[in-house]
Amino acid sequence: MAGNAVLEVTDGNFEQEVLKSSQPVMIDFWAAWCGPCKALAPVVDEIAQSYEGKLKVVKMDVDKNAATPGRYGVRGIPTLLIFKDGVVKEQIVGYVPKETLQKAVDKHVTQAVKTEA
């Protein structure tokens, strides 16, 4: 799905799409009114395309879905969580450059690839 590798998730499908995923998952908690979220969006899209097939990338609008962000202690946005095997492995709050995000993702994607071999 080049160009549209990022899936929008909701409180309703979060468990299926994120917690039960066989791949590591990065979720971007965002809102339409959030300036830093808009700045981070193209970075998240680039990560999704770069790691397609190795990392599932999803977004959740916190204004439309309150339960999941509350469950994971999301208090500021943008917040990125990286899940592996249904467990939060990494949390990044605020705008970060692509290189910083890649380093965080690499820790978990590389591990995932190694354990499958």
Q: Quote the CA–CA distance of 89 and 44 in Å, as a whole number.
A: 17
Classify 85 in phi/psi space as left (phi over 0), alpha (psi -120 to 50) or beta: left
DSSP symbols for 68-81: HHHHTT--SSSEEE
Q: Quote the CA–CA distance of 100 and 92 in Å, as a whole number.
A: 10
Which residues are designated catalytic? Answer: 34, 37
Helix (H, G, I), strand (E, B) or coil at 19: helix
